[in-house]
Structures are given as C-alpha cells and as structure tokens.
Structure 1
Amino acid sequence: MTKPPVLRIAAVQLLLVSLAGGVLHLSGKPVTALSVLIGGVLCALPGAYFGWYAFRDRGARAAQRVVGNFYRGQAGKFVLTLAGFAAVFATVKPLNAAALFISYGLCVIVQWWLAARMTR
C-alpha cells in the first residue's frame, strides 16, 4: 500500500514559497519575502500534521481509528493554523498582511490541485 501524498504536498508548498520568498528578497522586498514565506508555512505545516495524524493507521480493522484520526487531525490542523496566525500577528513586525494572506491562499490552492493530481 502506498503512503498518502500529504507530506510530498507540504514539501512542494514549502519549496514554492521558499523560491518566491527568495526572489522577493533578492528584488529588495525583505518584508514581503518574509510574509510570503510565513504564509506558506502557516498552510504547509498544519497540512502536514493533518496528513501524518490522519493516515497513521491503515486497513479494514483500523477503520474506526482512521475515522477518528481524520477528525482529530483536522481539529489539530485548525488549532495549529489559528495559533500560527495569532503568533505571527502578535510577534512579527513589520509584516505585509496582504502578502501573508495571498501566500496562504495560494498554498491552499496548490494543496487542492496537487491532492487532486496525486490521487488520480
């Protein structure tokens, strides 16, 4: 049985935001670069946590645990995302909030697109 692609998706997301952040930093926009990187991390790491937690158990005998793991994994992802945004807005100054949210949103779209492509 193959492993779910969730960790590969998080790795691709982190690679993309790292490249975007690097380009922005080299073009003289360090605050925007950091905001883009943080937005991507706020999407990728909770997503990786969900994938790790939700897919810990496999098989027909573990069906009840798998369903419970999905709910607990999703709840953990939600809490990590909220706590991450709260920590960023409380501690990171200066911050480009628009770049942060755009990066987060684009990472969510990349996550959906890659999940659809990898599970076909």
Structure 2
Amino acid sequence: MGKPLAAKLKRPRILRLLLAQFVVVCAVTGLGAYTGGLAVAVSALLGGGVALLPNAYFAWRAFRYQGAQHTRNIIKSFYRAEAGKFGLTVVLFTLVFVIVPPSNPAFFFGAYVATLFVHWLGPWLLQRPSHT
C-alpha cells in the first residue's frame, strides 16, 4: 500500500468574521449618522474600531502557524495574540477617551458591544460549505 495521507486542517475563515464585524461597524455608524449626525457617527465608528482592530490583530497574530510540527509555535502565538489584543484594547480605549472623547457614549459603547457580539455568529460564519 502507499504511504498514509497526512491530515491537513484548513485555517478557519477568520476573514469572514472580521468582515462581518466591519459590516456591523458600518451599520451602526450609518445609524448614528442618520439619527444624530456626524458627531454620533464618529462615536459609533470609534467604538466599533476599538473592538475591530484588536480582533484583526488577534487573527493576524494567532493564525500564523499551521500543522502539528508547529504545535509549540501555535500555542505561543495564541498567548501572544491574546495579550496583544488585550493591550491594544486598553491603548485604544485610552486614546479615544483622552484624544477624542466620544460625543455620544451610548453609540460608542453600543457599536463596541455590537461588534463584539458578532463573535456569537462565529460558528456559523466560520463553517465550511459541505460538498455532498
């Protein structure tokens, strides 16, 4: 018989999750612009950005390695990605509240929370289409 085929796990479709978060940020920003004008839209955009940017960093950092031979690197990259995501979130919150305080905290935090809630859709967004 031939040699056994190596199992190859495909990387998760993280880009779909990030794109969904981006769509939510745009939607809440548009809602803010419609209901309260530019200042409210900026608040929503900043709130969504504080959620989206650290998640994008995590995805970039955590999924750099693939395969069983990189198990240690995968584990290290996840820990570093999570630490970096946390640090980036703290820095972004600090920058927003020091440099550009949101004019509408409800839209700022609403966009932040709505963007984070997209993770609940993760299993659905990351699944691969079945080929039957």
Structure 2 length-normalised TM? 0.80
Residue among 55, 65, 68 paired with 2:63? 55
- Give the distance between the partners of 1:16 and 1:106, measured in 2 at CA: 7
| Segments of 4+ moved more than 6 angstroms | none
Q: Is 1:70 matched up with 2:81?
A: no
Q: Is 1:90 matched up with 2:98?
A: yes
Residue among 113, 121, 130 paired with 1:114? 121
Cα deviation for residue 28 of structure 1 reads: 4.0
The 1:63–1:18 alpha-carbon spacing in structure 2 relative to 1, beyond 3 Å, is same
Q: Is the 8 A contact 1:17 1:103 kept in 2?
A: yes
The 1:94–1:75 alpha-carbon spacing in structure 2 relative to 1, beyond 3 Å, is closer
Percent identity between matched residues is 37
Superposed CA deviations along residues 56-107 of structure 1, whole A, max 9, x for unmatched, are 0000000000000000000000011110000000111452122211211111
**Aligned-pair Cα RMSD in Å:** 1.7
Cα deviation for residue 23 of structure 1 reads: 3.3
Q: Which has the larger Rg?
A: 2
- Give the distance between the partners of 1:82 and 1:96, measured in 2 at CA: 20
Q: Is 1:42 matched up with 2:42?
A: no
Structure 1 length-normalised TM? 0.87
Q: Which residue of 1 aligns with 2:12?
A: 4
Cα deviation for residue 24 of structure 1 reads: 2.4
Q: Is the 8 A contact 1:10 1:45 kept in 2?
A: no
The 1:93–1:42 alpha-carbon spacing in structure 2 relative to 1, beyond 3 Å, is closer
Structure with the higher fraction of residues in helix conformation = 1
- Unpaired segments of 5 or more residues in structure 2? 1-8, 128-132
- Give the distance between the partners of 1:60 and 1:93, measured in 2 at CA: 46
